[in-house]
Structure 1
Amino acid sequence: MTESHYDLLVIGSGPAGESAALNAVKHDQRVAIVEQQRWVGGACTHQGTVPSKALRHTVRQVMRFNRNQIFRDLGDPRTLTFPRLLTAADDVIKRQVTMRSKFYQRNRIEVIIGRAHFVDAHTLAVSHEGREHRLTADQIVIATGSRPYRPENIDFYHPRVYDSDTILKMSHTPRKILIYGAGVIGCEYASIFSGLGIKVELINTRDRLLEFLDDEISDALSYHLRNLGVMIRDREEYREVKASDRGVEVTLESGKRLRGDALLWCNGRTGNTDQLDLDAVGLQADHRGQLEVDEHYETSVEGIFAAGDVIGWPSLASAAYDQGRSAAASARGKENCRFVDDVPTGIYTLPEISSVGATERELTQARVPYEVGRALFKDTARAQISGETVGMLKLLFHVETLEILGIHCFGAEAAEIVHIGQAIMKQRGEGNSLRYFITTTFNYPTMAEAYRTAALNGINRL
């Protein structure tokens, strides 16, 4: 058994682990990262964000081809099988792994493949191919991410039952798929499958889709998913799942029986902490396998930090990068670090959604006097040129100070567009004002000019 010592050890090479390791090495610390998968990148690269967004992009391209009359003159509409679609995602994953591997090589960060568990607060045992060696460090960052939650009464080993990880290995194209769970992942895959022409039944356990969104945006998502042919079933819970060679049957508590060729389970995630031997250091995860941290991303054990999905909300790759960087800064003794609590949402449905700040419901409940400015994409020249006319930009602002309180965007490139408004919201004092969009000249034709249109629409309501 060998033993090596480091200034910082990071468990997991997803966004949080990568940014923690890079931040530490840039400050002249000796760093190693432990990754249990064969390749670096974590679930974000191999099972989550990257492959699902690559799938969505390809489906979106096919949909644009099929509805454009100019392309119709060149040939018949195109269809893709799901396995063929996966090859596009595989290409992106390979490029991501190559790029991220170079990060570690260039910065001389040692990548150790194996499964890590705690021996004590400064020691990890790493097992790989029957061998075990120990690593010690002054500080440790847990960035092990999360995995899909799997109820015990569902047979996930059946070839017709999938979760958001295993769906990337589906080797056939179902005629109809049942998706249980209408959170972000469920809605994104509902868009992907319906865009392929597959019948989709989306089972939502809540009153409406993505309740954390502004109500108007949630309603728009429901409408457009239904327009793609998705059957949405709200306020439903499963009672039993039966899978056979002939298909899958989901019995709901309401008595309904839904049948399909496959089931995609997208209801909740669990932090990857169960194999870390947390008891050895006196740490305890909650019922979701997640760890609690303070404003410095330090756990209840001094010198052990955590970041990314393993600490829960907001469980976004964008936040994980910043959390990992802050955890590494805290670990080396920096007194002030950024605690990530103002993250924009980016939901890659068809069309996509992005928002930052307060919703109308939140402002109403808080009795904040606000007004609304809207710009419909169908009225912008750029959207008409691109053919992406579905969607809108919505600004919420204070009626007296004109301070921007919330930005909600639904439509093509929403996750890009939202950052223009986010930049203004981050300004202090009079810098955060609706007037910025009225007094600024935007390029024409662009989607960005929707901000000017929305601002004028809102100011005219006062």
Structure 2
Amino acid sequence: MSAETVVIGTGSRPWVPSSFSVDHDRVLDADSFERAAGTNRVAVVGAGRDGLRAATLLATTGVEVTLFDRRHRLLEECDSEMVDLVVEDIGRSGIRMRLGEDVLEVGPSVDGAMVVPIRGEVERFDRVVVSVGRVGNTDALGLERVGLETDERGRLWCDERFNTWVEGVCAVGSVIGHPNWLRNSLDQGKRLAVDVLFSGNFERGPAAAVTSSGTRPEILQAGRTTEELMAEGVDYESGRAGFVAGAVNSLKLLWTRRSGRVLGAHAIGPDVAASIGRVAAGMRRRLTVDRLLSSCGDDLLLREAATATGPLTTSGALPTAAVAPPVPIEGPAWRIDAV
């Protein structure tokens, strides 16, 4: 069989360190964590997207969950303000977070499963879920025969149009770069298909994809984060909607100060998917905030975030809200700042 374009989208599977013993009974991986439902005490090792998803879903069933991770910040690829909202919700759900704690060993025990932190004593649970990364399903494809190599996790690296360094071979989904959730993989596949069918006449970049944190509550985002813009020295403004106690939906919109071109959006809530989708579509068309509003003026959440007015920071220094420790946001339903 031959083709002008070959797309690799074989997905990924959980990666397990050699010191972790997964028996798929008392010690589970991220793809089989549902088997821990109905038990009393569960440890989740790894607080990435898979681990947070497992922890939050198990907690909703009444399981007492302890979450271990050697990092001090969750969901580093997400906007920090959105992560703060997720962390607050996780705390209210009763999940015990053991951040900054590395785990040396995991394995089944006589009466359940055990976790051995590098510092501390052995801790015992009914079940343990291991979620410390994923590996691409590329080992059986014979990629070396066409000149393709993967990294240590079996992943391929592509440009923004999903082309590998071998002409005619593309890749989408969790076999490229950071493991992606289904929402992003489907979006990549659709955009690549249009790109191939219409010979590249489809303007889009990786920033236009909608990604999901997979947590409860779920963070949906498209485009750049505040941290990325600050690190690159981009002169931007941000508007917020729904950042008040008891708000059902919260959205943060980012755009350039000079031209008004939309740079990204980040949201939490049951009704935010349509808003984020509109922002992603607008970014593909390089719309400004004004043009985005004119194309979706009935979206009240977007309008509230984009038309917020308030004090701006023009000195070049970070606004106080950007560097202060996270605190519950009170007052108006929006806040605007700029760097």
**TM-score over 0.5 for the alignment?**
yes
| Shift in alpha-carbon separation, 1:189–1:405, aligned structure 2, 3 A | same
* 2:310 corresponds to 1:460: yes
* 2:267 corresponds to 1:406: no
Q: Percent identity?
A: 34
Q: CA RMSD in A?
A: 3.2
* 2:225 corresponds to 1:369: no
| Shift in alpha-carbon separation, 1:338–1:267, aligned structure 2, 3 A | farther
Amino acid aligned to 2:215: T
* 2:228 corresponds to 1:357: no
Q: Is the 8 A contact 1:438 1:456 kept in 2?
A: no
Deviation at 1:193, TM superposition (A): 0.9
Match of 2:337 in 1: none
Match of 2:112 in 1: 247
Q: When you count helix as a share of all residues, which structure comes out higher?
A: 1
Deviation at 1:190, TM superposition (A): 1.5
Distance of 1:423 and 1:329 partners within structure 2 = 15
Amino acid aligned to 2:105: E
Match of 2:321 in 1: none
What do the CA deviations read for 1:24-61 (whole angstroms, capped 9, x no partner)? xxxxxxxxxxxxxxxxxxxxxxxxxxxxxxxxxxxxxx
Distance of 2:238 and 2:194 partners within structure 1 = 40
| Shift in alpha-carbon separation, 1:346–1:326, aligned structure 2, 3 A | closer
| Shift in alpha-carbon separation, 1:147–1:419, aligned structure 2, 3 A | same
* 2:213 corresponds to 1:347: yes
Amino acid aligned to 2:217: P
| Shift in alpha-carbon separation, 1:425–1:240, aligned structure 2, 3 A | same
Matches within 5 A, 1:364-403: 364-376=230-242, 389-403=247-261
Match of 1:291 in 2: 156
Deviation at 1:229, TM superposition (A): 0.4
* 2:163 corresponds to 1:307: no
| Shift in alpha-carbon separation, 1:441–1:417, aligned structure 2, 3 A | closer
- Using the size of structure 2 for normalisation, the TM-score is 0.78
Distance of 2:83 and 2:36 partners within structure 1 = 32
Amino acid aligned to 2:232: A
Match of 2:333 in 1: none
Distance of 1:439 and 1:307 partners within structure 2 = 30
What do the CA deviations read for 1:297-356 (whole angstroms, capped 9, x no partner)? 454555544333222346233443454456667889946676751222222322221122
Match of 2:131 in 1: 266
Q: Which runs of 5+ in 1 are unaligned?
A: 1-5, 9-137, 380-387, 443-447
Amino acid aligned to 1:273: T
SS at match of 1:201: strand
Distance of 2:307 and 2:161 partners within structure 1 = 42
SS at match of 1:315: coil
Match of 1:161 in 2: 27
Distance of 1:163 and 1:241 partners within structure 2 = 11
Distance of 1:332 and 1:438 partners within structure 2 = 30
Amino acid aligned to 2:276: V
SS at match of 1:152: coil
Amino acid aligned to 1:460: G
* 2:73 corresponds to 1:208: yes
Q: Which runs of 5+ in 2 are unaligned?
A: 313-339
Of 214, 233, 248, the residue aligned with 2:98 is 233
Match of 1:179 in 2: 44
- Using the size of structure 1 for normalisation, the TM-score is 0.59
| Shift in alpha-carbon separation, 1:367–1:285, aligned structure 2, 3 A | closer
Deviation at 1:227, TM superposition (A): 0.5
Matches within 5 A, 1:113-128: none
